[in-house]
Structure 1
Amino acid sequence: MAPDSAPDFDADITSTDSVAEHREELLAAVNEHAGRIARELALLQGGDYGSTTFNTDRGEWTVKYEAGALQYLRFSGKAGGDIYVVSTQRPPEPKDLVTAMKDYDAFVESYNEHVASLDGVLDDVTTDFPDVVSTETVVVERDRIVGAIRETANDIAGQLHRFEGDSYGTFARRVGGKRWELKWEDGVASYLRVGGEGGIYLVSQYSPPSARDVRTLADGFVGFVEAYNEFVDELESDLSQVTFGDN
């Protein structure tokens, strides 16, 4: 049976060029205008990136920016659904764009009201701040104590290097329930750490310990030196037992 009619491939196809062109013009204008809002928000909030939502009678608008540039402008209507008026993805459908743009003026008004609400908010904030107390005295005393600890640690490191005969090594003892570890290299202290991995470095090649840590651990260093001295005394005692031939 023959078909009733064949497809008419010569029929005219309606072009969408004018609609697409009009949409692109509208989106370019919105992008420029909302982009100014994004830059103002970035200045106001003092960050490189962020987002702010503004409420209107018909829904809410969210402005997201990064480095002061508009990332997207989203309209969420009370009827449901999100319309990305400006985004890095595909442009909105023409009908969705029309729906959102009917509320665009209300969005701008909400933004302006937000900025106006901040007018004078800093008027009563004083810049008459109290004087800042110098830490110089504390730092000088901290550095003096740490310097004395480092000097003694270097003395111990030199002695360890001398009788161990190795280029580097460690000496560890428990003092007051804490592990004290001295690492040395070529007769110089690389670090003095209290508390094992993740502990406090009284001596290191990096930043000095805090004054509070120095105050807490200074007495323990005395015990560490005493433990080292006991270690040497034990070595001397052991060596004194070594004899050769008849005495």
Structure 2
Amino acid sequence: MTASDDVEAELTVPVPTADATVAERDRVVAAVREHAGRLARELARLKGGDYGRRTFRVEGGEWTLKYEAGDLDFLRFEGRSGLDVYVVSTKTDPDVRDLASAMAHYDAFVAAFVDYVESLRGVLDGVSIAVPDVASTGEVAAERDRIVARMRDAADRMAAELHRVEPTEYGTFAATVEGTRWELKREADRATYVRAGGEGGVYLVSQYAPPSPGDVRAYASAFRGFVETYNAEVRELGDALDGVEL
């Protein structure tokens, strides 16, 4: 018999099929996926979020359950003997022997999960849900709005006067008061905003949200100084024309 005959003889040996073993593995994984998926949903409910994980220690190692959007993402077993297998995963199927080794500890995992849930029973017993009455901000907001309305009225009058001497569509008036830069921006004869503190500063007058009561308190007196500075500049404009004759 030649060497080629030996090769042909070897190639005629039937190739064993893994169908039965693969089918059994898939059956086990599917059952665990369904069962552990229910555990994941309960864990997500307890944790109060759609994303998270928890590790459960058992005698033979550790089980880690991870969930995303409230559904099982993976279930991993790390044995004390060095075994590391993803029993359920979205990426790969487990090795058959590794799966068998991990499943020997699955009941212990479920028991640990039950113990964890039971440990939370009664945690909220005796917790009072009585809360004090919520204080109203009505008076504070009304006073803030009253002061801001006066600021806006003054800013609009300043804008109108500035528009009279410089009748452009847009304009600004800026001054430094007590070391803080103030700026009034106008559109024609109406104030668009009054800002204290430069870029990133506080908008005392705005087309959008009103300032906080704390900001109003902090800048109210300086706003008066801003208006006084404006008045002084207007007087200077008048002085500049004194003695001019045609």
Q: Which residue of 2 aligns with 1:196?
A: 198
1:128 to 127, 130, 133: 130
Deviation of residue 143 (structure 1)?
0.9
Deviation of residue 137 (structure 1)?
0.8
1:50-129 equivalences under 5 Å are: 50-80=52-82, 82-129=84-131
Secondary structure at the aligned position of 1:120 is classed as: coil
Deviations 1:75-104, CA, capped at 9 Å, x for gaps: 122233532111210111111211221111
Q: Which residue of 1 aligns with 2:210?
A: 208
Is the aligned partner of 1:33 residue 2:32? no
Distance 2:184 2:145 in 1: 19
Secondary structure at the aligned position of 1:192 is classed as: strand
User: What's the RMSD between the two structures over aligned residues?
Assistant: 1.8
Is the aligned partner of 1:160 residue 2:156? no
Secondary structure at the aligned position of 1:5 is classed as: helix
What residue ranges of structure 1 are gaps of 5+ in the alignment?
none
Deviation of residue 205 (structure 1)?
2.0
* Equivalent pairs, count: 244
Deviation of residue 237 (structure 1)?
1.7
Shifted more, 109-118 versus 194-203: the winner is: 194-203
Give the percent of matched residue pairs that are identical in Structure 1 and Structure 2.
53
Distance 1:239 1:81 in 2: 94
| Letter aligned with residue 200 of structure 1 | V
Distance 1:2 1:36 in 2: 59
What residue ranges of structure 2 are gaps of 5+ in the alignment?
none
Deviation of residue 182 (structure 1)?
1.3
Distance 1:152 1:100 in 2: 77
1:149 to 134, 148, 151: 151
Shifted more, 124-133 versus 80-89: the winner is: 80-89
Deviations 1:112-135, CA, capped at 9 Å, x for gaps: 111111110101100111111111
Report the TM-score when normalising by structure 2.
0.93
Deviation of residue 162 (structure 1)?
2.4
CA contact 2:83–2:98 (8 Å) conserved in 1 = no
Distance 1:80 1:173 in 2: 73
Distance 1:53 1:236, change over 3 A: same
Q: Which residue of 2 aligns with 1:222?
A: 224
CA contact 2:155–2:194 (8 Å) conserved in 1 = yes
| Letter aligned with residue 6 of structure 1 | V
